[in-house]
Amino acid sequence: MDSRADGFRRTLDSGRISPRLYWTVALVALLLVTDGFGTQAIGFVAPAIGKAWALKKGALTGVITMGLVGVMIGACGVTPLADRVGARRILLGCALSYGALMCGTALAHDLPSLLWMRFLSGVALGGAMPAGIALVSEYSPTRLRATFVTAAVCGFSLGGALGGFVATLVIQRFGWSAVFLVGGVAPILLAPVLYLHLPESLPRVLVGEAGARSMAAARKLAPGWIPGPFATAPPAEGGGQAPVVGLFKDGFALPTVLIWVVYFMTLMVLYTLSNWLPTIITDAGMPMSTANAATSFYQLAGIVGALLFSFLCDKVGSRRVLPLIFLGASVCCFLIGSAGANPSLVVGAAAAAGLFVVGGQSAANAFVGNFYPSHVRATGIGWALGVGRLGTILGSSVIGLMIGAGAEAHTLFEMCAVPGLFAALAIWLVAGHRRREAAAEPVPGPARPAEA
């Protein structure tokens, strides 16, 4: 299998970029648009639900938190299956599952039913992004891997941004439940296209375990590649051990822990702002239109940041760029709290925060997608995102309790400025660790880049 993997990688890296790769990245990005919309929909409809159900401030904290718990379970529990049964199957299963559950959420009539629907939706939503990142990483040329991964991940931010615009358009006319219907129907309609055109995970292709359609897709992604005869698939590395064990072998233990710190801190801020920004802004006396505009521009600026920062990481190096990005995220979170009640300043500060917070997270996803070897890539990304969800749960819960206690908006945003400092230090250490380890190896390892 190693020789076949090397042959495929040589063909992919030495040849021209296949148009099929652009189509594959676009499909994954479209799926992540629906993933981002579904994950962050509750933040956009929370004020409307609170008003419709006459809820007290902070009453939806449990709903938001349980949704994030579901996403964490999906990232840690569902995603490792992609390394065993293939990312394509996981992506299809997730799309159909959270599509149906989002439609079901539109029928929720009280807090308990809304809470459990968000939890179940979160489990399905949590498995999509890591599997998508792993699939794009496997089929991207090494020289452009970060760029293609970042382009796909931008779909998630675009989905979050669309949520604000959709909420503004449909809530007043059709009610908050229409937002969930839109978010549920879209992935169900997309699933047949994914089935027809997505390739299967590369390790399954290389041992001949993918179907004929997936094999044909893989050949189109690497024109000139000849699969050759397939041998019996070797046992998975690690035998019967849990996939996560592979993240602590062969010198990956310390970097894995540091990556988890990065994700814990960055996702804490990203989702706290995504879920609570509309509520905080409306509680400060500004209209819903300002709240949704601020949250949408927060996500749109993140797309710009993701593309810009991935380019800088490729040119300058992740160790230099990523710490500065996370420091910038801290400064911008502080600035939102200093904007007062001026709608223009609030929207501008939120956009600046999105540039660094959302853009920085996307750049980190590309870094990690290029960091782990293929046999644990989906597991590595999934567990990083899963551990990061612990940060989202903690951050969203604390902010929700503080909102219920009447905390001032500037205090809430100042708290969001702190985690970026820890993320900056952790990513600087992990990038430096891999560089030193690579320099110490006389013969480079097969899948251990010094810098992603």
Q: What is the pLDDT of residue 318?
A: 74
Alpha helix stretches (DSSP H) within 284-342: 288-316, 318-338
pLDDT tens digits, one per residue of 333-387: 888 777 767 778 888 888 998 899 988 888 888 788 777 777 778 788 888 888 8
Cβ atoms 88, 31 nearer than 8 A? no
**Which segment, 208-212, 266-270, 294-298, is predicted with the most confidence on average?**
266-270
Q: Is the pLDDT of residue 139 over 80?
A: yes
Lowest-confidence range among 11-25, 139-153, 221-235?
A: 221-235
Determine what percent of the chain is predicted with pLDDT higher than 70: 86
Q: What is the pLDDT of residue 444?
A: 41
Q: What is the pLDDT of residue 56?
A: 83
Query: Both tokens of residue 218?
Result: 């893989």
Q: What is the pLDDT of residue 18?
A: 80
Q: What is the pLDDT of residue 17?
A: 81
Give the global pTM.
0.74
pLDDT tens digits, one per residue of 103-117: 999 999 899 999 999
d(CA 121, CA 105): 8
Q: pLDDT band at 212, cuts 50/70/90? A: low
Which residues are within 8 A (CB) of 235 and not within 5 positions of it... i.e. 6 or more apart?
none
Length of the chain counted residue by residue: 452
Lowest-confidence range among 187-191, 196-200, 303-307, 373-377?
A: 373-377
| Secondary structure, 3-state, 371-438 | CCCHHHHHHHHHHHHHHHHHHHHHHHHHHHHHHHCCCCHHHHHHHHCCHHHHHHHHHHHHHHHHHHHH
Which is nearest to 336 in space by CA: 382, 298, 365?
298
The fourth-level CATH superfamily of domain 15-223+242-440 is MFS general substrate transporter like domains (1.20.1250.20)
Mean pLDDT over 392-418 rounds to: 80
d(CA 435, CA 203): 27
Q: pLDDT band at 441, cuts 50/70/90? A: very low
Lowest-confidence range among 235-239, 289-293, 416-420?
A: 235-239
d(CA 210, CA 252): 29
pLDDT tens digits, one per residue of 56-104: 877 888 888 888 889 888 888 887 777 778 888 899 999 999 999 999 9
Q: Is the pLDDT of residue 166 over 60?
A: yes
The overall average pLDDT reported for the chain is 81
Q: What is the pLDDT of residue 414?
A: 80
Q: What is the pLDDT of residue 333?
A: 85
- The larger pLDDT score, comparing residue 154 to residue 121, is at 121
Q: Is the pLDDT of residue 130 over 50?
A: yes
Q: What is the pLDDT of residue 182?
A: 93
d(CA 239, CA 241): 6
Mean pLDDT over 130-141 rounds to: 86
Q: What is the pLDDT of residue 440?
A: 46
For 377, other C-beta atoms within 10 Å of its C-beta total: 28
Q: Is the pLDDT of residue 449 over 70?
A: no
370, HSE (Cβ side, Cα atoms, 13 Å): 26
Domain boundaries, the chain: 15-223+242-440
Which is nearest to 247 in space by CA: 74, 79, 376?
376
Q: Is the pLDDT of residue 446 over 50?
A: no
Which residues are within 8 A (CB) of 205 and not within 5 positions of it... i.e. 6 or more apart?
199, 214, 215, 218, 227
Q: What is the pLDDT of residue 451?
A: 43
Torsion of CA 6, 8, 10, 11, to 10 degrees: 160
d(CA 225, CA 183): 39
